[in-house]
Amino acid sequence: MRYFSGFCLKNEQKLFENYLEDKQFVVAGFSYGAIKAFLYCMSAANRVDKLQLISPAFFQNKSKNFIKQQLSFFQRNDKIYTEQFLKNITNKNINKYKTNGTLRQLDELLNFQWDIQKLKNLTNKGINIEIFLGSNDTITDSKNAIKFFKDVATIYLYKDKGHML
């Protein structure tokens, strides 16, 4: 399996072992890593059978003001922003997975636009897409993500779970 980490995280896939399929032709990612996993599959020369997206970063419905504000907060104090961000994604201690995120990564995460046609192209290539979402996610807009991805993916919605499921 090829795995892509979330924003400000590194090697956290162990936290998702109940969801991930650890097989040779599976590509997976969490949150920001879901974007990277998708982009990898778009240009992969190697065989991919399944794309697993855990709480994919989905900000397409957020205002430009919201995005500008998040970037500004990060620029003012990236350490405080990161601490607050990690508190918002889980109440578990995940310090051993913490790494420094960059403004470029945050900008990419917040401004990324999922393209339904490109997702359909992946499914037409035979790639099975699975999406895992928590109904109580305070980071990703689960309701709009479900509406957006429903025609191209199998979606698993976990009741009473947040961003880190």
What average pLDDT does the structure give for the chain? 97
How would you classify the pairing of strands 128-134 and 154-158? parallel
Helix (H, G, I), strand (E, B) or coil at 21: coil
pLDDT in tens, 81-138: 999 999 999 999 999 999 999 999 999 999 999 999 999 999 999 999 999 999 999 9
- Which pLDDT tens digit goes with each residue over 15-70? 999 999 999 999 999 999 999 999 999 999 999 999 999 999 999 999 999 999 99
Single pTM value for the model: 0.97
Tell me which residue of 5, 44, 3 sits closest to 26, measured CA to CA: 3
CATH code matching the domain that covers 2-158, chosen among 3.60.20.10, 3.30.200.20, 3.50.50.60, 3.40.50.1820: 3.40.50.1820
pLDDT tens profile 100-111: 999 999 999 999
Q: Please state the domain extents for the chain.
A: 2-158
